[in-house]
Amino acid sequence: MEKSAAIRVMQVTPDWRPALLQLRVTAPQRDFVSDIAPSLDDAERCPGSTPMVILRNDEPIGYYRIEMHAASIAEREYDRPAVGLRSFFIDHRWQGQGLASRALAAAIDDLSTRHPHAQLLVLLVNCRNLAALRLYLRARFIDTGQLYHGGRAGPQHLLWRELP
């Protein structure tokens, strides 16, 4: 992997949509990450949901959403100001190169500027998605020990991370 490649994130604009619609995960990952087209459509309809593109240099390699209403993550309230992370993924062509860790770090840095009031970042990860669980734990997320059973592919761990 080229370590000097710039990884950055930015809010999705209509210009990014055609390139984002080309992004895919591997077949086994489809249980854990929704297709991008419905996620983009849903983000456009949901106030407080911000679709984000992950860029390597200036090429889209991934996607995620930030939810201002963190209660939409696991259908619960949090004791501190929180935002949610949803649908985080790296395109299958770019996986296995350490880019997800760098992209997650860029997303967290962006959140401190975009949402300076937020103290927590919360997310759900499917219990069978061990690669994603390892990624989030390495990024200092804490597994709350609580499971959310409302997911389409089985129970999910509720994780949170303090924001800078």
Q: Answer whether residue 32 is part of any domain.
A: yes
pLDDT of residue 155: 94
pLDDT of residue 30: 87
Where in the sequence is the domain holding 33, given as residue range(s)?
Answer: 7-116
pLDDT for 124-155, tens place per residue?
999 999 999 999 999 999 999 999 997 778 89
**Would strands 59-67 and 49-56 be described as parallel, antiparallel, or unpaired?**
antiparallel
Q: Answer whether residue 84 is part of any domain.
A: yes
Q: Answer whether residue 135 is part of any domain.
A: no
Q: Answer whether residue 139 is part of any domain.
A: no
Which CATH number do you get for residue 44? 3.40.630.30
pLDDT for 83-120, tens place per residue?
999 999 999 999 999 999 999 999 999 999 999 999 99
pLDDT of residue 2: 53
pTM: 0.93
pLDDT at 1 over 50: no
Quote the CA–CA distance of 108 and 151 in Å, as a whole number.
Answer: 24
pLDDT of residue 140: 97
Percent residues over pLDDT 90 in the chain: 82
DSSP 136: H
Total count of domains within the chain: 1
Quote the CA–CA distance of 98 and 3 in Å, as a whole number.
Answer: 9
